Structure 1
Amino acid sequence: MDWDKLRIFHAVADAGSLTHAGDVLHLSQSAVSRQIRALEESLNTTLFHRHARGLILTEQGELLFDATTAMNKRLDAASARIRDSEEEVFGELRVTTTIGFGTLWLAPRLTKLYEQYPDLNIDLMLEEKVLDLPMREADVAIRMKEPSQADLVRKRLMSVRMRLYATQSYLEQHGEPENLADLHDHRLICQNVNSEQIGAGASFVTSLLANDVTKMLYVNNYFGVLQAVTHDLGIGVLPDYLIQDFPDLVRVGEHIESAEVPVYLAFPEELRQSKRIAAFRDFVQEEIILHRKQLRDKEIS
């Protein structure tokens, strides 16, 4: 099958228009149209339904588009490996993790990584959805559970627990609950149990709500919960890794916490030799070691 025709087909299918695909490929509309017709003839099938508003893939076109999409992702992976210098770290690295961990722990620490590797460009994709690493939706992930796919390199980084936090000023004004039953007198700030989040967090919130909590503020990510807590709106459910960077937070209830949540770094097996992956992995591990040391020093002092 002609690779050039497949490349043009993919661009047309992605754009939904001969004209837009031509702009991307720097080809005339007629040239693009000729290549599509030639591909259809070679396959003896129709790949597009043609409408006034654009092009729609046929069932056969969908099958071919799935194949060209997978091919492009594999080519991107190969290209990334080829571009990786033996001694330098440069280019784009797509990192995915949760909104909370990405905004509250990872992003504030990236200054150190950029100082060490100024030619590295991070594309930080923050969402609760688990992206498909083997299909190259991202290069590397930090996940709040062990990845289930077999073709991934994985490393356990740390453990996290959800705990209750408030500001000192809030507690001085409203009092500190002595037990779970006292939460009835406070506003609980947390993610809705039906929102997309780690299971341990949802289970923890469910257990708290069983204590006749009536005043609530739901926020769909931990960054929002933190903002509400720091503005004295109530007691928030937050991950314990925050306490190092937000020392004004006060833990509420010494023994009130979620189950342990393992944090893993993972990337596709095919990127095992990538210098960019290695640089990012080493950076994260070093920051976690420093994080743990600072927490131990704080506990001792």
Structure 2
Amino acid sequence: MNWDDMRLFLAVARAESLTGAGRALRLDPATLGRRIARLEDGLGTALFVRSPRGYGLTEAGERLMARAVQAEQALTEGAEELRGQEGQLTGSVRIGAPDGVANYLLPQVAAAICDANPGLEVQIVALPRVFNLSRREADMAIAVSPPETGRLTVQRITDYRLHLVAHRDYLERHPPIRGLDDLRTHRIVGYIPDMIFDSELDYLSEIGVDRVTLASNSVAVQLNWLRAGAGLGIVHDFAMPAAPGLVKVLPGAVSLRRSFFLIRHGDDRKLARLTRFAGLLSDGIRAEVARLEAQFA
């Protein structure tokens, strides 16, 4: 077994398909499939379960993946030491995050970190769901609630605020809103109810709203509806600078507070490179939330 085999194995395990892995590796999927089959033959065990949905890891594949990830991380750390670049971060780091933080915080925070570390590559995977760090879908993830299971380390990054908002144009065209009861006669923008993947995101039920007229699982789509004057919805304060014209509605009655958590695999605690990056990421998010929220205090 050589490292090139492990590199291909990790790519397929993470993409859960030959097509996705081939695209990342710039390798023909058929060639990749033959290489994986040859690896399995050499090891004398199946590493993947093939199905129309893709490639899923077998129990043996799960065990090998844990070891392969450790080897990958050790190689990255060793390469940095040999380059004598302990003062700078290099290589690639993948962050998984809900699309709110991915759209309105991570771009500027990651860009600033890369400015100070020119050899670093940052990948942001913006998906409205919980990330599986055990399968190494990402090196670390940001979540709105701490996980209850798994070999994970959790660090609270910062609190953030959300308010009910609407565009000035919408408010001028519709009846005044003097209390929560008035919301019944207004069009509401929010999440698709059965696609809310974390109870912390069920904002509207917290204020007694049970009907969403314009719904999306994407924060960016919701914000664009509100920016277009389509209705009222709950928005992160830090996202409001991206949508000029939005104003808070009933700020005394509707003011929510949530937290961001940085989640890492438990085995990564000894990896200096990822630990340093995690520190920079947390500091950057904390500062950016404070800066953006101050504009709408």
Which of 252, 264, 287 is matched with 2:249 structurally? 252
Mapped contact 1:167–1:248 kept (Cα < 8 A): yes
Partner amino acid for 2:272? S
Q: What is aligned with 1:74? A: 70
Distance 1:269 1:217, change over 3 A: same
In the superposition, relative to structure 1, how do residues 74 and 279 fare at CA in structure 2: closer, same or farther (>3 Å)?
A: closer
1:1-301 mapped onto 2 (5 Å cutoff): 3=1, 7=5, 23-24=31-32, 39-40=43-44, 47=46, 62-84=58-80, 85-149=85-149, 151-202=151-202, 204-205=204-205, 207-210=207-210, 216-257=213-254, 260-272=257-269, 273-293=271-291, 295-296=293-294, 299=297
1:225-258 Cα shifts (integer Å, max 9, x gaps)? 0000001111122223223544532011113436
Gaps in structure 2 of 5+ consecutive residues: 20-27, 48-53
| 1:179 to 1:153, Cα distance in 2 relative to 1, 3 A | same
Q: Name the SS of the counterpart of 2:213 in structure 1.
A: strand
Deviation at 1:224, TM superposition (A): 0.4
Stretches of structure 1 lacking an aligned partner (at least 5 in a row): 49-55
Higher mean C-alpha deviation, range 286-295 or range 95-104: 286-295
User: Sequence identity, in percent?
Assistant: 18
What residue identity is the alignment partner of 1:62?
A: T
SS at match of 2:58: helix
Q: How well do the aligned residues superpose, as a CA RMSD in angstroms?
A: 4.0
Distance 1:150 1:253, change over 3 A: same
Give the total of aligned pairs.
275
Whether the aligned pair in 1 keeps the contact of 2:106 and 2:285 (CA below 8 Å) is no
Contact 1:167 1:232 in 2 (8 A): yes
- Change over 3 Å in CA distance of 1:245–1:274 after alignment to 2: farther
Q: Give distance in 2, aligned partners of 1:183 and 1:71.
A: 54
User: What is the CA-CA distance between 1:218 and the residue it aligns to?
Assistant: 0.9
Distance 1:258 1:201 in 2: 14
* SS of residue matched to 1:86: coil
Q: Could you tell me how far apart the structure 1 residues matched to 2:292 and 2:41 are?
A: 64
